[in-house]
């Protein structure tokens, strides 16, 4: 029995695509030449990533990239603060308090708290993804599924803040480390075979670990050999599967990614070893967890251009799975353009492809965590309140009688025509049957709010930060925090920012 036949046996025959060389060599490139029917295994990636991490310097960051870095940080710190108020985040902090002595790194939240760097990264990372309000990496081609790549900011931010505080690093060092982590995370997520996502891995948890490790390695100024070992350690620590969507464990994926990335780099900095080629070869990360990689998407592409500007990231207008946002906007446009009252709605149909219907898997929601992956709730909230923000995604509102009744009127429909158009955009059609007769139809807009085609303005981004931070901070501290984030490159010690972000 061949290795491929063995894998087919284990997975019920679902790995037939792994035998195809095109999945490890979509284009000709280093390490991607197929030999007969056997795929070429990825090579050269670990060394390339380690070289990029060790060579990145603040002075070489282009001005437009630095602008986007600060925008990601405004959004990221805002969602960490908001997410720190939910129950799952409180439980993580309680566990950290019981497991870790006070340390040099701040844990953001309703009360002042500190811990060792790895534990602070865990707590802040879990908070940052708790509301599912953090940014999303964009696709570049239809086979790279939008929304199933990664949420790039939170793992790198959480690791960078924790380690920068411990080291007393400057704002420039923090910015340099954060950008390094985001770029490594995005390029790995873009390169790995889409099978990684389609078979159920949650990339914020899996690949986010490499982003956090890269950020920490940059801050620790590890050499290329130690950085390669950090990547190898990270490869064995990365985890997260999508069965936990709709539960407290999904945001824990982001927290563990941050914690494990810090742990991997700090161990490597102390001389702890791993395989020199953790991403490469038959037993490396790309092959084992993805069935290969499209190497031209990463080799020669790290920082060329930075993913944060091309194709960019999207900021979320709603605190839930991004795949539902264009549908929610379509529903909002429909009810406002036609002034549709809740009592006029007989039925709602959402037509979409598998890229949306599979991840947003709940047919009805009982809790706010389930609601984040429930199209019937998303459309019901818009129908009832014409909004769906942090004050709608609560257990009380989700379980209320009007919401439960409206969700029962919503049907999700697989649409083969939408499916055939590919997965690089979040396409859907909303149809509303009126109780008095007639049907209103509204397709989603490919130019979704928060994406590069319709980016948040500075005022809109500040408004989102203020809304999120207001759950924890008074107005004067919110204004000061925004000022400090936007002037990070002038800051001598990141501890100044951390102290501004706590009550």
Of residues 481, 483, 457, the one with CA closest to residue 468: 481
Q: Are residues 149 and 170 in the same domain?
A: yes
Q: Are residues 115 and 154 in the same domain?
A: yes
pLDDT digits (tens, 9 = 90+) for 201-236: 999 999 999 999 999 999 999 999 999 999 999 999
Q: pLDDT band at 474, cuts 50/70/90?
A: very high
Q: Write the CB contacts of 8 (distance below 8 Å, at least 6 apart in sequence).
A: 14, 15, 16
Q: Residue 405 pLDDT > 50, yes or no?
A: yes
Cα separation, 381 vs 403, whole angstroms: 7
Final residue before a domain boundary, out of 443, 460, 494: 443
CA-only gyration radius of the chain, Å: 22
Domain containing residue 227: CATH number: 1.10.4100.10
Q: Are residues 382 and 257 in the same domain?
A: no
Cα separation, 69 vs 182, whole angstroms: 9
Q: Are residues 245 and 383 in the same domain?
A: no
Q: Residue 426 pLDDT > 90, yes or no?
A: no
Q: Are residues 292 and 366 in the same domain?
A: no
pLDDT mean over 8-26: 34
pLDDT given for residue 39 in this prediction:
58
Average pLDDT, the chain: 91
pLDDT given for residue 425 in this prediction:
80
Q: What is the 3-state secondary structure (H, E, C) of 441-480?
A: EEECCCCCCCCCCCCCCHHHHHHHHHHHHCCCCCHHHHHH
Q: Residue 19 pLDDT > 80, yes or no?
A: no
Q: Are residues 107 and 61 in the same domain?
A: yes
With respect to residue 143, please indicate whether it lies within any of the assigned structural domains: yes
pLDDT given for residue 321 in this prediction:
86
Q: Residue 398 pLDDT > 50, yes or no?
A: yes
With respect to residue 377, please indicate whether it lies within any of the assigned structural domains: yes
Final residue before a domain boundary, out of 443, 461, 492: 443
Of residues 133, 107, 90, 110, the one with CA closest to residue 472: 110
| Percentage above 90 pLDDT, the chain | 83
| Percentage above 70 pLDDT, the chain | 91
With respect to residue 165, please indicate whether it lies within any of the assigned structural domains: yes
Q: Are residues 402 and 297 in the same domain?
A: no
Q: Are residues 345 and 439 in the same domain?
A: yes
pLDDT given for residue 491 in this prediction:
98
pLDDT given for residue 259 in this prediction:
98
pLDDT top residue among 74 and 245:
74
pLDDT digits (tens, 9 = 90+) for 479-492: 999 999 999 999 99
pLDDT given for residue 451 in this prediction:
84
Final residue before a domain boundary, out of 423, 443, 463: 443
With respect to residue 333, please indicate whether it lies within any of the assigned structural domains: yes
Q: Tell me the pTM.
A: 0.86
Number of domains in the chain: 2
Which residues constitute the domain of residue 83? 41-314
pLDDT mean over 384-390: 95
Q: pLDDT band at 187, cuts 50/70/90?
A: very high
């Amino acid at each position: 029995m061949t290795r491929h036949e063995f894998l087919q046996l284990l997975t019920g025959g679902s790995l037939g695509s792994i035998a195809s060389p095109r999945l490890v060599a979509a284009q000709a490139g280093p390490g991607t030449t197929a030999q007969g029917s056997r795929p070429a295994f990825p090579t050269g990636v670990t060394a390339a990533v380690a070289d990029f991490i060790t060579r990145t310097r603040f002075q070489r960051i282009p001005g437009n990239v630095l602008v986007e870095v600060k925008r990601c940080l405004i959004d990221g710190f805002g969602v960490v603060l908001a997410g720190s108020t939910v129950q799952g985040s409180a439980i993580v902090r309680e566990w950290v308090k019981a497991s870790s002595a006070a340390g040099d790194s701040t844990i953001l939240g309703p009360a002042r708290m500190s811990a060792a760097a790895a534990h602070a990264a865990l707590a802040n990372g879990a908070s940052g993804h708790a509301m599912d309000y953090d940014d999303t990496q964009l696709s570049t081609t239809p086979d790279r599924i939008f929304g199933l790549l990664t949420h790039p900011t939170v793992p790198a931010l959480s690791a960078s803040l924790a380690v920068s505080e411990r080291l007393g690093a400057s704002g420039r060092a923090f910015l340099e480390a954060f950008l390094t982590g985001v770029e490594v995370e995005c390029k790995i997520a873009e390169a790995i075979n889409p099978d990684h996502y389609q078979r159920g891995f949650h990339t914020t948890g899996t690949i986010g670990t490499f982003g956090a490790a890269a950020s920490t390695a940059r801050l620790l100024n590890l050499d290329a050999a130690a950085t390669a070992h950090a990547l190898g350690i990270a490869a064995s620590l990365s985890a997260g599967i999508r069965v936990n969507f709709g539960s407290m464990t999904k945001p824990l994926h982001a927290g563990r990614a941050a914690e494990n990335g810090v742990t991997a780099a700090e161990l490597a900095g102390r001389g702890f070893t791993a395989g020199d080629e953790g991403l490469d070869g038959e037993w490396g990360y790309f092959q084992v967890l993805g069935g290969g990689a499209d190497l031209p998407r990463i080799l020669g592409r790290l920082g060329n251009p930075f993913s944060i500007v091309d194709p960019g990231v999207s900021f979320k207008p709603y605190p839930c799975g991004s795949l539902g946002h264009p549908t929610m906007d379509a529903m909002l446009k429909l009810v406002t353009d036609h002034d549709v009252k809740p009592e006029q709605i007989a039925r709602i149909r959402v037509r979409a492809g598998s890229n949306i219907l599979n991840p947003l898997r709940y047919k009805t929601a009982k809790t706010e965590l389930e609601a984040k992956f429930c199209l019937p709730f998303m459309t019901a909230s818009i129908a009832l309140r014409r909004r769906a923000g942090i004050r709608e995604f609560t257990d009380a509102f989700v379980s209320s009688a009007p919401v439960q009744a409206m969700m029962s009127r919503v049907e999700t429909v697989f649409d083969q025509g939408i499916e055939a158009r590919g997965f690089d955009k979040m396409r859907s059609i909303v149809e509303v049957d009126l109780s008095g007769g007639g049907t209103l139809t509204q397709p989603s807009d490919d130019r979704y709010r928060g994406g590069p085609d319709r980016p948040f303005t500075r005022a809109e981004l500040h408004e989102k930060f203020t809304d999120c931070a207001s759950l924890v901070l008074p107005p004067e501290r919110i204004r000061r925090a925004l000022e400090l984030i936007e002037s990070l490159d002038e800051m001598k010690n990141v501890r100044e920012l951390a102290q501004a972000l706590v009550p």
